[in-house]
Amino acid sequence: MSAPLRVGVAGLGTIGGGTVRLLRENADLIAARCGRPVTVVAVAERDKDHAASVDFGDAELLDDGLALAERPDIDVVVELIGGHGGIALELARRALGGEKHFVTANKAMIAHHGQELALAAEKSGVTLAFEAAVAGGIPILKAIRESLAGNRIRRVYGIFNGTCNYILTAMRDSGRPFADILAEAQALGYAEADPTFDVDGVDAAHKTAILAALAFGQRVDLDAVRTAGIRDLAPVDQVVAAELGYCVKLLGVAEDTGAGVVTRVEPCLVAADSPIARVDGVFNAVVVDADFVDRTVYQGRGAGAEPTASAVVGDLIDIARGGGWHAFGVPAGRLEQAKPAETALLSSAYYLRFAPNDPRGAIAGIAAALNEAGVPVANMFSDRAPGSVIVTTGTAQGAAVEQACASVAGSMALAGTPVRMRIEEF
């Protein structure tokens, strides 16, 4: 059997602890599949009490993660600290510059600095791997980069944030409001104490930007992702969606329109009988539409110690086998500047909800604003929830719908911002 692949792990939190445990518990299986052992020789964790709760075997405990990049007895640095800058980024730069392979679950760092790190890896002749950064245990990056490499991809979309999916599922099933379910998700550990990145769509935007880069051979462009979250949604939105044959999901979408690439994260109505509508709770799902394979669907746990550790260890196994690959499927220097298409020019049907002070009296004004903007009305409800007028439209450009909503907001007193969701017909 060949010499071990020697690993240093920075961060022994949920994912770090899971990674170390997986490498320990399945050591014989991993060695047999790699033809060599994968051995953790050092771990870095500043919180000594927390480190004491993790069984990292004979590995040396360090309090400085950056030291892993300097050690000659480490072949691969695994970064599980988090954050798009700071020590995580410095560790990545030092490890790759020092000709060490680098594995991370850090979607924020890849979304902000992916091309820089990919160029550094190629210059040093090592591998940058981040399967765990998108959709946890679902091997979607590997599928796009390798299994679907011969296909021209038209669109990648899916449920990329388990916290939001849990909240929307519970809102649909229980009828409880957003705030109550968010508090429950925090108590269960599905949501952070500060849930901003999750519920405002930022986490899903990071993942959407990474998927777009891999699917379309473009530079990671987080700024191009139009992002909306789920804070303003209410149980009535799920109720009416169900009456119409839909359910509400927070989707990340990356699509080549022919005129450019659109990347967006937003709550949408999806057909209740579609595969993605059946993905509930904390699960994630990714759908890839391509020319020769048509449609492939991937579903699984998108977060948590074990699924994410599985993805990290999958990258380590590929490295141990001697596999080398370009982080984004093509040499980093050949990644093209994205040609973004304006999201507002996309056409679809829409679900709109307004909260006027006088719902019945507001119906005529809402209808007039939509008509003036050229947005056809399909249905209008004023009896589904107290204080609400709900409209579904025919197909219209996003810019026209946005104009109509702004006109309504400017012409009458509303409680809160109008809710606007695309009705997707994937």
Q: How would you class 191 by CB atoms within 10 Å of its CB: exposed for 0-12, middle for 13-18, buried for 19 or more?
A: buried
Other CB atoms within 10 A of residue 425 CB: 11
pLDDT tier at 1, thresholds 50, 70, 90 = low
> Number of C-alpha atoms within 13 angstroms, CB side, residue 325?
22
264 has a pLDDT exceeding 80 = yes
Other CB atoms within 10 A of residue 96 CB: 25
pLDDT average, residue stretch 159-184: 95
359 has a pLDDT exceeding 70 = yes
Query: How many contiguous H segments (helices) and E segments (strands) does the chain have?
Result: 14, 17
State residue 202's pLDDT score: 97
Q: Are strands 283-290 and 294-301 parallel, antiparallel or unpaired?
A: antiparallel
Q: What single string gives the DSSP state of each residue in 35-90? A: TS-EEEEEEE-S-HHHHHTS--TTPEEES-GGGGGG-TT-SEEEE-S--SSHHHHH
Among 100, 107, 123, 207, which one carries the catalytic annotation? Answer: 207
Q: Which residues pair with 265 in a beta bridge?
A: 227, 252
Tell me the per-residue pLDDT of 196-208, one tens digit each, with 9 for 90 and over.
999 999 999 999 9
Q: In the chain, where does the domain assigned CATH 3.30.360.10 lie?
A: 146-301
Residue whose structure tokens are 């519970």: 170
Q: Given CATH 3.30.70.260, say whether it is the number of domain 343-423.
A: yes
Tell me the per-residue pLDDT of 267-306, one tens digit each, with 9 for 90 and over.
999 999 999 999 999 999 999 999 999 999 999 998 888 9
Token pair, residue 272, equals: 């209740």
pTM: 0.95
State residue 163's pLDDT score: 94
State residue 346's pLDDT score: 86
Q: In the chain, where does the domain assigned CATH 3.40.50.720 lie?
A: 5-136+307-334
Cα 384 to Cα 9, 23, 71, 402, distances in angstroms: 53, 53, 64, 23
pLDDT average, residue stretch 210-232: 95
Q: What is the DSSP letter of 67?
A: G
State residue 35's pLDDT score: 93
Q: What is the average pLDDT score of the chain?
A: 94
pLDDT tier at 151, thresholds 50, 70, 90 = very high
Contact (CB, 8 A) for 411 and 369: yes
344 has a pLDDT exceeding 80 = no
Tell me the per-residue pLDDT of 67-77, one tens digit each, with 9 for 90 and over.
999 999 999 99
Tell me the per-residue pLDDT of 329-338, one tens digit each, with 9 for 90 and over.
999 999 988 7
Q: What single string gives the DSSP state of each residue in 265-284? A: EEEEEEETTSGGGG--TTEE
Token pair, residue 140, equals: 């979607």
Beta strands across the sheet bearing 38-44: 60-62, 38-44, 5-10, 76-79, 101-104, 128-129
State residue 4's pLDDT score: 96
What's phi and psi for 79, nearest 5 deg?
Answer: -100, 115
State residue 345's pLDDT score: 79
294 vs 137: CA distance, rounded Å = 23
pLDDT tier at 307, thresholds 50, 70, 90 = very high
Residue whose structure tokens are 């304006």: 342
Cα 175 to Cα 20, 163, 170, 422, distances in angstroms: 40, 17, 7, 22
Q: Which residues pair with 283 in a beta bridge?
A: 301
Token pair, residue 198, equals: 């999750």
Amino acid at 232: D
Tell me the per-residue pLDDT of 388-420, one tens digit each, with 9 for 90 and over.
999 999 999 999 999 999 999 888 878 888 999
345 vs 400: CA distance, rounded Å = 9
State residue 291's pLDDT score: 96
Q: Which residues, in sequence order, are CB contacts of 57 under 8 Å at separation 6+? A: 20, 24, 40
Residue whose structure tokens are 């020789």: 41
Amino acid at 218: Q
pLDDT tier at 191, thresholds 50, 70, 90 = confident
pLDDT tier at 190, thresholds 50, 70, 90 = confident
193 has a pLDDT exceeding 90 = no
pLDDT average, residue stretch 131-146: 95
Tell me the per-residue pLDDT of 75-104, one tens digit each, with 9 for 90 and over.
999 999 999 999 999 999 999 999 999 999
CATH class of 146-301: alpha beta
Q: Given CATH 3.40.50.720, say whether it is the number of domain 5-136+307-334.
A: yes
Phi-psi region of 258 (alpha: psi -120 to 50; beta: other; left: phi over 0): left
Exposure string for 34-65, b = 16+ CB within 10 A, e = fewer: bebbbbbbbbbbeeeeebeebebeebeebeeb
207 annotated active-site: yes
Start-end of H helices in 125-247: 140-142, 162-174, 178-187, 196-199, 202-216, 235-243
